[in-house]
Structure 1
């Protein structure tokens, strides 16, 4: 195992302030607790996360030293009402970084998961936090890199497992992390002026378009077929009664055929 190294992760020359913690409860919780003392652009990686969280307080489980678990402190250069776009842009950046490093075709499972070969490889969680300098976003990202064993109920995979190369035994997490930070920086710059073209690229990588889904919206179950994404990246679905609906948020989005 090659340990994470802050100087290598920050080798892109971009305005990130990278830290590596050996172990932490949650990188996002650590950032939220220390946000007022940290510069915008702080990125915290960890080798081991004992209380990682996903959406709906689900735990993010990863073995020590195998994967990438990190959080970013952000202040998007856009009006507050456009800040929710960060999750979509981050998902696109993760896909592009994977595509640049490996012969894989990641897909975005709205609203905040990345899939490879119909299995989850990455998850994102964006939260707002108030600091002395105003509102910020804490964006947590988990990416399965070198782990090989997953409980069947998680329906998960890793980059190493998906590549399935007999000669590749470990993916360089430092190189991949550096690539990720570069891709995220590039995509975040599109939050205002270039968001429409970004959504076109997200659409090309959508895992849900064309699928029948079941989900919960504000606690109520619903289902339909995903037709498209709108200009904000929200789901447009065909309902059973022949009407269409736009989902701006939802819980438990699942492939109805699974």
Structure 2
């Protein structure tokens, strides 16, 4: 297991992670150039457990963060490192770019250098108490709440667009995805820190346009952003489980949800759409809506503001 700290994985492992030098990371964009400088000095290359060459940052951190260059997806890298027993819960992977980034419904997610692409190993699910059965059904929205709360430390006011988009001023600035295998749950998410696709490159059926996130100027790049977030992220995740029961959490979640109390367009499969008011979230993660004939719970589909 890697000791706590920030590491650059120079050799990587093909075809998941391409090899990269510290100079190449710095040259990828201005944000990464600042991060490499600010997180230094970087130690000498060290071969760790036969898994390749790593360099450790001189910056202190209580968890493990592995920085990679271009990769397939940060989720695949995190799974590889977990299987190799190099990272465990709260260990994270931050990449410069992704070749196969994906979002809701496994749609391609354009992932150039400059934005934050991170995957983090979540702790095991509670084995008792009120959250034992509730958290698996609410995990995506729970993580959305944690991300939105953590972003407050860098001045990023976010809202969650059910089920897994992150909005700022009604524009999409990020998204998240959870993949599970046995007891391993990996949260992957991205934030548009430096680049967002222009409106003309977005899908015609998109719910909202994209934008770059607005945050404090203290954040210099993707790694700097995760360095600011990680401890707050971990603390919020654990504190909510300790201090709130599921109904109390669902009440708190309303403050972070987009368009609660507002009428929206709901698009189901094909060309089917209708209008309803967003009411809240059910105990199993569905979106509670109010139509003319009464309340209903939505489990699939897309919502868009009017």
Identify the TM-score tier after normalising by the shorter chain: 0.7 to 0.9
Aligned-pair distance for 1:9? 7.8
Q: Is the 8 A contact 1:106 1:205 kept in 2?
A: yes
Counterpart check, 1:187 vs 2:236: yes
Aligned-pair distance for 1:17? 2.0
From 177, 200, 216, the equivalent of 1:152 is 200
Q: Distance in 2 between matches of 1:121 and 1:8?
A: 31
**Residue 146 (structure 2) aligns with:** 93
Q: Distance in 1 between matches of 2:242 and 2:289?
A: 25
Aligned-pair distance for 1:192? 6.5
Aligned-pair distance for 1:77? 3.9
**Residue 106 (structure 1) aligns with:** 158
Q: Distance in 2 between matches of 1:36 and 1:172?
A: 29
From 97, 115, 118, the equivalent of 1:48 is 97
Q: Distance in 1 between matches of 2:177 and 2:64?
A: 20
Alignment of 1:204-223 (within 5 A): 204-209=255-260, 210-216=262-268, 221=272, 223=274
Q: Is the 8 A contact 1:214 1:256 kept in 2?
A: no
**Residue 4 (structure 2) aligns with:** none
The alignment covers a number of residue pairs equal to 239
Q: Distance in 1 between matches of 2:250 and 2:74?
A: 28
Alignment of 1:1-258 (within 5 A): 1=30, 2-3=34-35, 5=39, 7=57, 11=61, 13=62, 16-38=63-85, 39-64=88-113, 66-79=114-127, 81=133, 82-102=135-155, 104-130=156-182, 135-147=183-195, 150-154=198-202, 155-159=209-213, 162=214, 171-189=220-238, 190-191=240-241, 194=244, 195-209=246-260, 210-216=262-268, 221=272, 223=274, 224-231=276-283, 233-240=285-292, 242-247=293-298, 249-251=299-301, 253-255=302-304, 257=306
Q: Distance in 2 between matches of 1:28 and 1:71?
A: 6
Q: Is the 8 A contact 2:160 2:166 kept in 1?
A: yes
Post-superposition Cα deviations, 1:37-93, rounded to whole Å, max 9, x if no partner, equal: 2323321110111111112111111321x1110111223341464223332222122
Unaligned runs of 5+ in 1: none
Look at both structures and tell me which one has the larger radius of gyration over its CA atoms.
2
Q: Is the 8 A contact 2:138 2:283 kept in 1?
A: no
Q: Distance in 2 between matches of 1:8 and 1:220?
A: 54
Aligned-pair distance for 1:10? 6.2
Post-superposition Cα deviations, 1:156-204, rounded to whole Å, max 9, x if no partner, equal: 1112xx46x9xx5974433321232123212321246524443333201
Unaligned runs of 5+ in 2: 1-29, 40-55, 203-208
Q: Is the 8 A contact 1:124 1:142 kept in 2?
A: yes
Post-superposition Cα deviations, 1:220-247, rounded to whole Å, max 9, x if no partner, equal: 945322122335553211134x121123
Post-superposition Cα deviations, 1:141-166, rounded to whole Å, max 9, x if no partner, equal: 1111122653435311112xx46x9x
Against the structure 1 CA distance between its residues 222 and 187, is the aligned structure 2 distance closer, same or farther, given a 3 Å change threshold?
farther
